[in-house]
Structure 1
């Protein structure tokens, strides 16, 4: 099986219960996770690390993580004999308040490495041949007062967890990318806004990775500039048809 197939199977493995109760101290105290999305995103990245390392080693890949904060990607995989065929893996997390809601992710900046080959990226962008997203989706559970206390190892079953119903997928970034910025005035690429199965099946809006890259390399930062150029995929294709005018 391929690296990708093995990784997908490992992520879907029913033995991966994604059942973290909290953070344990050297004294044996367990601190419940709480509902902070940044904390939970870190937890799911920790889930992914040993899976990625195990499958990568099986296929002869080296795994590197960024030495600088906010550098892309979370994991770089490559074979020493093929340094210009690197694979980027980024871990993304989102939540729903009830099951089967539509979901959306932010997929990284559009003004950094896709425009400047070496900006905020572990290796030059043109050394990567694939960009994969491992996406985690969970349903939020209302925080209870019991999450404010600490526990010991004998009280594991009493510790409230702020999430349930974890789902995971692996997909190419360009396949699940949308045509709108991630949120507000940020310069992040937004994903499609769709159901979980649409991410699994890759029901995106771009015809190719080249179209995705060209769209986001030319996407303007402000709405005023976009109004003179394009705001969405339909307007982009018209812009192309007009000779980029």
Structure 2
């Protein structure tokens, strides 16, 4: 990692340690309780992940802008909603120094202790494969010196789903249960927390690992191989075929197969942790 990139990374890591105090009460609840209208009615927030993610972004934005100013960077927002990244940090003294920062939020899985729902890490489509493309990206991918995820892992509060249709008065503010809480923040270069599987259905999105301990430590499947392997794999995802022992041709869609195909060291592939449901205790 270059000095400029490492300096930015260290500053970002220090910054995220301060964020919980801005959005969390002393007992770990989200300080956002709902939407208020001019009649002082408060409407509960939906626990839908897209709604929660957007409000979290809005809630944190003033702190992000203040942080950027403090370290000598300007923040450029994407021109369109589906553009990458969420935030472009540009050095005020040298505009060729740019960093991509994507805001990522995900919730802990109740049925799988130690795991989160995961998240996507951007497209592996046109702008990823052609590093000078301007399609769906604020600046060409190759213009960024680093690509980071600023992540938030939270727990969903049980029982709040049924309260989504409720309306409260302003005087009841303190008694409203937040829909989420128990926040953990992290910063990682996105290749370090990447999976070798697509992150969402039929779209060309890179998936993440899901074991929380590994996310926080940056121990994704590429973490021992390096960023060049991450780039090579996802630029060619689903495009390379190989013949099995029975002579059938299939696409390469696992990192182990890809590293073997490229003649690399497959022992450097970090296995993904498997989600295992806790065993039910037998009565008696």
TM-score between the two structures when normalised by the length of structure 1:
0.88
CA deviation after TM superposition for structure 1 residue 25, in Å:
2.3
C-alpha contact 1:62 1:80 (8 A) present in aligned 2: yes
Equivalent pairs counted in the alignment come to 240
CA deviation after TM superposition for structure 1 residue 222, in Å:
11
**Matched residue, 1:125:** 141
Q: Map of 1:99-178 to 2, 5 A cutoff?
A: 100-103=113-116, 104-116=118-130, 117-141=133-157, 142-143=159-160, 145-178=162-195
Quickly say closer, same or farther: Cα 1:229–1:148, change in 2 above 3 A: closer
SS of the residue corresponding to residue 256 of structure 2 reads helix
Task: Provide the rounded CA distance (Å) in 2 between the counterparts of 1:229 and 1:97.
Answer: 31
1:23 and 2:40 aligned: no
1:83 and 2:88 aligned: no
Q: Structure 2: which 5+ runs fail to align?
A: 1-5, 25-29, 244-248, 265-284
1:217 and 2:223 aligned: no
Task: Provide the rounded CA distance (Å) in 2 between the counterparts of 1:166 and 1:41.
Answer: 13
**Matched residue, 2:208:** 191
Higher Cα radius of gyration: 2
Task: Provide the rounded CA distance (Å) in 1 between the counterparts of 2:88 and 2:233.
Answer: 25
**Please, what is the CA RMSD of the aligned residues?**
2.5
Task: Provide the rounded CA distance (Å) in 1 between the counterparts of 2:7 and 2:122.
Answer: 26
SS of the residue corresponding to residue 107 of structure 2 reads strand
Quickly say closer, same or farther: Cα 1:7–1:25, change in 2 above 3 A: farther
Please list the CA deviations of residues 112-150 of structure 1 after superposition, one character each: whole Å capped at 9, or x if unmatched.
Answer: 311232220001111101111011111122335443222
Task: Provide the rounded CA distance (Å) in 1 between the counterparts of 2:53 and 2:250.
Answer: 37
Q: Structure 1: which 5+ runs fail to align?
A: none
The 10-residue stretch of structure 1 (159-168 or 7-16) with the greater mean CA deviation from structure 2? 7-16
Task: Provide the rounded CA distance (Å) in 1 between the counterparts of 2:92 and 2:86.
Answer: 19
Q: Map of 1:57-96 to 2, 5 A cutoff?
A: 57-96=69-108
C-alpha contact 1:144 1:160 (8 A) present in aligned 2: no
Task: Provide the rounded CA distance (Å) in 2 between the counterparts of 1:152 and 1:224.
Answer: 63
TM-score between the two structures when normalised by the length of structure 2:
0.77
Quickly say closer, same or farther: Cα 1:211–1:224, change in 2 above 3 A: closer
CA deviation after TM superposition for structure 1 residue 167, in Å:
1.3
Please list the CA deviations of residues 139-198 of structure 1 after superposition, one character each: whole Å capped at 9, or x if unmatched.
Answer: 12233544322223221122232212121111110110110111332211001132x221
Task: Provide the rounded CA distance (Å) in 1 between the counterparts of 2:103 and 2:89.
Answer: 14
Task: Provide the rounded CA distance (Å) in 1 between the counterparts of 2:58 and 2:92.
Answer: 25
